[in-house]
Amino acid sequence: MTAEPIQIRSSTELPAVREPIELVTSDGLALVGELAVPVDREPVATLVTLHPLPTAGGFMDSHVLRKAAARLPAQADLAVLRFNTRGTESPHGRSEGEFDGGNDERADLAAAMRFVTERGLPSPWLVGWSFGTELALKYGREHPIVGAILLSPPLHRTSADEVAAWSGDPRRLVALIPELDDYLRPAEAADRFAAVPDIELVTVEDGKHLWVGEKQVHRVLSEIVARANPAALPLEGTFTPAG
């Protein structure tokens, strides 16, 4: 008997193996997280997600990251790792420690990447959103990643030298710039990232910083999949479970 297709809506959670995890940092903090992987096959690649600013309501359950974990293991054979950086609380729980403005969070990213290595998760990509892009830009080059995907980077905490350090780096750097962003719009982004000629700057028409609405979410997830596993495109509006 053929399974009925699932219509993908804002709250849809497709099949995956979802595991609550704990990351331990080099300074002894326990961070709350979750790993979601495909049900019946090995992942093709891994998304290590970095959430928006916790002092402005960002956390591992922010909607784009939650929807990536809810859909992409099934739709695109991707593993999705989410976690709350130090001092951040979400419906999944609160990570130990206190927010440090992107400084001590360097150890949080390192803990996530150790977990990726220990689990043998393949082809890791950093996917940062807003504040998470600052962590990816500042510290991503320290780790064995395929590349980094930046969703609405504000470039508030990343210095010009830290941006320029990506020039000539073999890892891919992709930035999705919303046309109507509150902090960094396409023309300014082209100027601020000019020191990295190999960056892929993607202007998202009518896009806004928070990527509200299914049309914008679909665009963001499609751009991520286009880098991490392009064979899985296009992302359909329905999903038919196996069996």
Q: Which of 236, 105, 176 is nearest to 113 (CA)?
A: 105
pLDDT tens for 136-181 read 999 999 999 999 999 999 999 999 999 999 999 999 999 999 999 9
Q: Which of 126, 211, 196 is nearest to 164 (CA)?
A: 196
> Does the structure show a pLDDT above 70 at 63?
yes
Q: Specify the pLDDT at position 4.
A: 86
pTM of the model: 0.97
- Select the CATH number that applies to the domain covering 15-229 from these four: 3.30.70.890, 3.90.480.20, 3.40.50.1820, 3.50.50.60: 3.40.50.1820
Q: Which of 160, 153, 164, 168 is nearest to 207 (CA)?
A: 153
36: helix, strand or coil: strand
Interior CA angle at 15 toward 10 and 20, to 5°? Answer: 90
Strands annotated E in the chain: 6-7, 17-24, 30-37, 45-50, 78-83, 89-90, 93-94, 124-129, 147-151, 172-178, 200-204, 238-239
Distance CA 51, CA 135 (A): 10
pLDDT over 90 for what percent of the chain?
A: 97
pLDDT tens for 76-86 read 999 999 999 99
Domain boundaries, the chain: 15-229
Q: Specify the pLDDT at position 221.
A: 98
Q: Is residue 21 within 8 Å of residue 60, measured between CB atoms?
A: no
Distance CA 93, CA 79 (A): 21
- Please name every residue paired with 48 in a beta bridge, in sequence order, or none if there are none: 81, 126
Q: Specify the pLDDT at position 222.
A: 98
* Cα end-to-end distance, the chain, whole Å: 7
